[in-house]
């Protein structure tokens, strides 16, 4: 797209549906679902845009924001903001709108699905049976969720929804979240014991991660922390891949430090296939936690509505930057 091409909204990833069609009826929209892969073309295209809508692949860093001299709004179709330079956006007066709750249920359900799949070794049993076998005895020895302890790392909205569903299976809940007081309504409703991270790891049968990527969480689950877990414990990560030191996890899975793991996210996405993909006690999915029909309908509808509001000079309903009306001018 030529640099002088003036557009209202640039969509640099695969975000589509009726809400996007509605935006097209009111604004000039450029839909370029693979644009995030081409930095030069992205920089040229955004220079003439008033708003951009992204998922988690587009690197909306300070340099890109400064090149976007007409930009007043960034719409993040999702909850994570680690691909957006929030400091630069705030300094430039660019409003970032996101969807903090709209995909929470889908992410929580995937975490529960992972726990059940790990507990009963469902992927291996399915593959073996589809190969024409009927090896009931081979797959004896799975474990129930009932009576087990679930450790929730990050008891925000998704962590809360995951834990509340786990309680329906009769699980006991431990929570680690330094940003929540022991009287927080989430912890009270879960009847959860709030503990330090090392205690959570040592007491839990299942550990499920629900924290954002940040300097504080980068590599928080390393070899030393993994060794604190039970040898029979399972690790689930549906939040951000940078939480786990993958080399340490591979070693822990290979040597029996923990029983298994399920990961929807990786440190680099997409990852280069390696040792992790070859292990029998790991389940891997391609960052699909939010990718249900219902969640994507909610996410798309919410982010498109906020972008429309911002372009009309109204405040966003879901701002991630300090609340303000757009100030930037072409």
SS3 243: helix
pLDDT tens-digit series, residues 89-110: 999 999 999 999 899 999 999 9
* Catalytic one of 91, 144, 182, 269: 269
Active site annotation includes 184: no
Query: 270 and 297, same structural domain?
Result: no
Residue 2 resides in a domain: no
- By DSSP bridging, strand 282-284 and strand 260-263 are parallel
Structure tokens at 45: 């295209």
Query: How many Å apart are CA 22 and CA 18, to the nearest integer?
Result: 6
- pLDDT for 327: 54
Active site annotation includes 210: no
Bridge partners, residue 95, by sequence: 73
User: How many residues are present in the chain?
Assistant: 330
pLDDT level of residue 4 (50, 70, 90 thresholds): very low
Residue 278 resides in a domain: yes
Is the pLDDT assigned to residue 2 strictly greater than 50?
no
Residue 85 resides in a domain: yes
Query: 139 and 28, same structural domain?
Result: no
Range of the structural domain that residue 150 is part of: 104-284
pLDDT level of residue 17 (50, 70, 90 thresholds): very high
Q: DSSP strand E in 17-148: where?
A: 29-31, 49-54, 73-76, 95-97
pLDDT tens-digit series, residues 106-125: 999 999 999 999 999 999 99
Is the pLDDT assigned to residue 45 strictly greater than 70?
yes
- pLDDT for 261: 98
Query: 136 and 17, same structural domain?
Result: no
Is the pLDDT assigned to residue 206 strictly greater than 50?
yes
User: What's the CATH number where 243 sits?
Assistant: 3.40.50.720
- pLDDT for 165: 97
pLDDT above 70: percentage of residues in the chain: 96
Active site annotation includes 287: yes
Is the pLDDT assigned to residue 252 strictly greater than 80?
yes
Structure tokens at 68: 């976007």
Query: 108 and 94, same structural domain?
Result: no
* Catalytic one of 287, 298, 308, 309: 287
Query: 248 and 160, same structural domain?
Result: yes
pLDDT above 90: percentage of residues in the chain: 90
Query: 179 and 129, same structural domain?
Result: yes
Task: Kindly report the average pLDDT of the chain as a whole number.
Answer: 94
- pLDDT for 323: 55
Is the pLDDT assigned to residue 324 strictly greater than 90?
no
- Burial of residue 113 (CB within 10 Å: 0-12, 13-18, 19+) is middle
- Which are the contacts of 130, defined by CB distance < 8 A and separation ≥ 6? none
* Domains held by the chain: number: 2
To which residue do tokens 């939040």 refer?
239
Query: How many Å apart are CA 66 and CA 43, to the nearest integer?
Result: 10
Residue 316 resides in a domain: no
Residue 321 resides in a domain: no
Query: 303 and 205, same structural domain?
Result: no
Query: 124 and 95, same structural domain?
Result: no
Residue 167 resides in a domain: yes
Query: 151 and 238, same structural domain?
Result: yes
Residue 1 resides in a domain: no
Query: 53 and 116, same structural domain?
Result: no
Query: 196 and 207, same structural domain?
Result: yes
* Catalytic one of 240, 266, 298, 309: 240
- Burial of residue 235 (CB within 10 Å: 0-12, 13-18, 19+) is buried
Q: Region 140-160: what's the mean pLDDT?
A: 95
- pLDDT for 5: 59
Query: 157 and 123, same structural domain?
Result: yes
- pLDDT for 328: 53
Residue 250 resides in a domain: yes
């Amino acid at each position: 797209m030529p640099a002088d091409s003036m557009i209202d909204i640039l969509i640099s990833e695969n975000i589509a549906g009726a809400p996007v069609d509605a935006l097209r009826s009111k604004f000039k929209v450029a839909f370029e679902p693979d644009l995030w892969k081409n930095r030069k073309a992205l920089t040229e295209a955004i220079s003439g845009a008033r708003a951009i809508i992204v998922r988690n692949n587009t690197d909306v860093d300070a340099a890109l924001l400064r090149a976007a001299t007409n930009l007043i709004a960034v719409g993040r179709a999702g909850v994570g903001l680690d691909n957006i330079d929030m400091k630069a956006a705030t300094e430039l007066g660019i409003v970032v709108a996101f969807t903090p709750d709209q995909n929470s249920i889908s992410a929580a359900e995937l975490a529960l699905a992972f726990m059940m799949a790990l507990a009963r070794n469902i992927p291996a049993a399915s593959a073996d049976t589809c190969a024409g076998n009927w090896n009931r005895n081979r797959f004896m020895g799975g474990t129930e969720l009932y009576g087990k302890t679930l450790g929730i790392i990050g008891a925000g909205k998704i962590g809360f929804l995951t834990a509340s569903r786990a309680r329906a299976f009769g699980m006991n809940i431990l929570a680690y979240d330094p940003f929540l007081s022991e009287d927080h309504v989430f912890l009270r409703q879960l009847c959860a014991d709030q503990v330090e991270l090392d205690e959570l790891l040592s007491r839990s049968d299942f550990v499920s991660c629900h924290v954002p990527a940040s300097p504080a969480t980068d590599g928080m689950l390393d070899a030393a922390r993994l060794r604190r877990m039970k040898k029979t414990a399972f690790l689930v990560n549906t939040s951000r891949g940078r939480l786990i030191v993958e080399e340490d996890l591979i070693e822990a899975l290979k040597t029996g430090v923990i029983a298994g793991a399920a990961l929807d996210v990786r440190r680099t996405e997409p990852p280069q296939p390696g040792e992790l993909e070859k292990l029998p006690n790991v389940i891997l999915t391609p960052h699909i936690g939010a990718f249900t029909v219902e969640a994507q309908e909610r996410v798309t509808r919410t982010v498109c509505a906020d972008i429309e509001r911002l372009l009309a000079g109204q405040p966003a309903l879901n701002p991630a930057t300090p609340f303000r009306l757009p100030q930037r001018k072409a």
